[in-house]
Structure 1
Amino acid sequence: MMKKNKGKNPAPVMHKSKGDKFASWMFLTPTMIFLGITALLPLLYSLYLSFFRLKLNLPNAVPEFVGLQNYIKMFSDPALLTSTKNTLFFAVISVALELAIGMLLAMALCSDKMWARICTSIFLIPMIMAPVAVGTLWRMMLDSTTGIINYLLGFLGVPSITWLSSPKTAMLAVILVNVWQLVPWVTIICAAGLKALPGDCLEAATVDGATNGQIFRKIVLPMMSPVLTVVVMLRFVDAFKVFDTVYVMTNGGPGSATEMLPNYIYKQGLKFFDAGYSASLAIIFVVVMTLVTMGFLKLRDRMEENI
C-alpha cells in the first residue's frame, strides 16, 4: 500500500519557453543597439581619447599619446578643486532643501480630494519647464536693475541686491532656482510613497495614543526610508550634472563662484579645446557617479531589510 504524501505539493515553477526568451531578446535588441551607439561608443571613445593630448583648434591636429598625464594633471588643477567644491556644496544644500520642503508639501497634498489634485497639477509647472527657459526666466527676474524680485523687495524697504553679479549671492540664487524647479518632483514621489503606506500601522499607533510627531518619527520615516533613499540618490546625481540652468544664469560666474563640474568640463573641451583633458575629466566624473549610485542602492537594500 502506497503511503500518502502528507506534505504540501511544491508550488509549480514557471519556466519561460525558448520562444518567450527569444521574443524578449528581440524586443530588447533595438534598445540595446540604440544605447550602444549613442552612449557606449562615445564613452569608450572618450576613454580612448583621455590618454592622448589633442587640441581641437589646431588645423590637422594629430592625437599625441601621453598615457596617464591627463589624469595626473587633475591633482594639480586648482580650478578643478574649486568647481568640485562648488558642485558638492550645491548638491548637498539643494537636495537637503528639496527633500525637506518636498516631504512637507507631500504630507499636505497626500489626499485624493479635488483641491489636492488641482494643486498638484499647478505645482508641476516648474518641473516640466525646460532648464534653459527656467534659467532665462530667473535671470531676468533676478536682474539688479529691472528684475521683479528687487522691485518687490523694494516695497519692504530692502535695497537692491546684485543677485547674479556678486559671489556672495550668486550661488544662493542658483540653489534657490534649482529648489524651485525640482521640489515638485520630490513632492510627487514622496506623496506616492505616503499613499502606499499601510493604514493599519498608522491606525494602530493612533489607537495606542501616539502623537503625530511620534507616528512620523517612528513609523512614517522608517517605512519611507527606501523611497527617500532613491529620491536622494536621483537628485544628488542629477544635481552633480546640472549645466543648463547655471550656464544660462551665470555661466559659472562671477569669477568661479558658480563654476560646476559639468560647466568646467564643457569649457575645457569647447572653450580651451583640450579634448584629452576634457575626456579624462568626463571619465572620472562617470566613474564617481557610478560608485555613488551603487552606494545609495546598497543603502536602500539595507533599509528594506530592516523594515
Structure 2
Amino acid sequence: MKAQNKANGAPKMKHRNETVWSWLFMLPTMIFLGVTALLPLLYSVYLSFFKYKINLPNAVPIFNGLGNYIKMFTDKTLAVSTGNTVLFAVISVALELVIGIIVAMVLCSDMLWAKICTTILLIPMIMAPVAIGTTWRMMLDGTTGIINYLLSFLGIPSINWLSNPKYAMPAVIFVNVWQLVPWVAIIGAAGLKALPADCFEAARIDGAKNSQIFAKIVLPMISPLLVIITMLRFVDAFKVFDTVYTMTNGGPGTATEMLPNYIYKQGLKFFDAGYTAALAVMFVLIMTVVTLIFLKLRKFVEEKVA
C-alpha cells in the first residue's frame, strides 16, 4: 500500500517541480517586461487623467479627469489619422497576403533556385525601416528619383509621388508591401511544406485540378496559419512609424498621417504629455481588442478544420 502511494505521489512531485522550475526560468523575463513595459503603461494610464505640458517651466500635472479622452471625439486630425491607418492596414495586409501566398507556393520547391530566391527575399526584411524609408524617398523623388527616370523611357511624365496627396498613400503602401511580402511568403511556405502530401496525391488520383486542390484542400488546411499571419501583420501595420516618418512625416498635409506618427507629434512636438498618454492608452486597448478578435477567429477556424 505504501509503495503504491509512493508511486502515485512521484508523478505529482515531478510535475510540481517542473512547474516551479518553469516559473523560475520565466521570472527574469517577467521582471524585465514588468519594468520596461508594464510600469510605463501603468504610468501612462495615470498620466492620461492629467493635463500636463512638459515644455512649460515648472510645469506640474493638473488633474483633468476624462478631459483627454473626451477631447479625442472632437479631434479632427485624430479622426483623419485613424482613417488613414485603417486604410493603410487593410490594403497593405490584403496585398501582402495575396502576393505572399502566391510567392509561397512558388518557394515550396526544394530545388536550389527556390533556396536562392528565399535568401534574396530576406533582404527587405533585414533592412532597417529607417533605411528603407530613406532609400525609397530618394527613389520616389519627383525631380531626381530613379523611378520617374525609368518611367520617362515609357513616355510617362514625372509624378510627385510623395508631395502629391493623390499618390503619397499608394506610395507608402507599396513600400510597406514590398518590405513585408517576403515575411508572409516565408511563413506561408513553411506552412505549405508542413501539409501532408497524401491528401494531394489522393485528390490528383480523383481527377482534381490544381485550382480545386488549392481551394478545397490547401486553403482550408492553412487557414489557421493565415489568421495568425493576418493578425500579426494587421497589428504591425497599425504600429507603422519609421518608414512613413522618413518618407513623408505624415504629409503632404495629413494625407499619410498615421496614428503612431500623430501620437509622436503630440508628445514630442506639442509636448502635451497628458493627451499623448491618453492616445497611447486607447491605442493599446484597441490593439488588444483586435488581437482577441483574431484569436477567437483562429479558434473558430481550427475547430472548423478539425
TM-score after normalising by structure 1:
0.95
Match of 2:103 among 102, 105, 109: 105
- Cα distance in 2 between the residues matched to 1:17 and 1:93: 48
The match for 1:150 is: 148
Q: Which runs of 5+ in 1 are unaligned?
A: 1-11
The match for 1:201 is: 199
Return the letter of the residue paired with 1:130: A
Return the letter of the residue paired with 1:209: G
Return the letter of the residue paired with 1:238: D
- Cα distance in 1 between the residues matched to 2:296 and 2:15: 33
Residue deviations 1:116-142, cap 9 Å, x none? Answer: 001100111001100000000000000
Match of 1:78 among 70, 76, 79: 76
**Identity over the aligned pairs, expressed in percent?**
73
Residue deviations 1:214-248, cap 9 Å, x none? Answer: 11111111111000000000000000000000000
SS at match of 1:124: helix
The match for 2:46 is: 48
Q: CA deviation at 1:13?
A: 7.0
Match of 1:36 among 16, 34, 37: 34
Q: CA deviation at 1:19?
A: 3.2
- Cα distance in 2 between the residues matched to 1:77 and 1:229: 33
The match for 1:264 is: 262
The match for 2:251 is: 253
Q: Which runs of 5+ in 2 are unaligned?
A: 1-9
Residue deviations 1:41-94, cap 9 Å, x none? Answer: 000000000000000110110100010010011011100000000000000000
Q: CA deviation at 1:14?
A: 7.3
- Cα distance in 1 between the residues matched to 2:203 and 2:23: 48
The match for 1:234 is: 232
- Cα distance in 2 between the residues matched to 1:36 and 1:187: 34
Q: CA deviation at 1:20?
A: 2.6
SS at match of 2:110: coil
SS at match of 1:118: helix
Return the letter of the residue paired with 2:84: N
1:217/1:15 CA distance change after superposition, 3 Å: farther
Return the letter of the residue paired with 2:296: K
TM-score after normalising by structure 2:
0.95
Q: CA deviation at 1:112?
A: 1.2
Return the letter of the residue paired with 1:252: G
Residue deviations 1:25-54, cap 9 Å, x none? Answer: 221111000000000000000000000000
- Cα distance in 2 between the residues matched to 1:20 and 1:86: 48
Equivalent residue pairs, number: 296
Structure 1 runs, 4 residues or longer, greater than 6 Å off: 12-15
Q: CA deviation at 1:180?
A: 0.4
The match for 2:6 is: none
**1:6-45 correspondence to structure 2 within 5 Å:** 16-45=14-43
SS at match of 1:306: helix
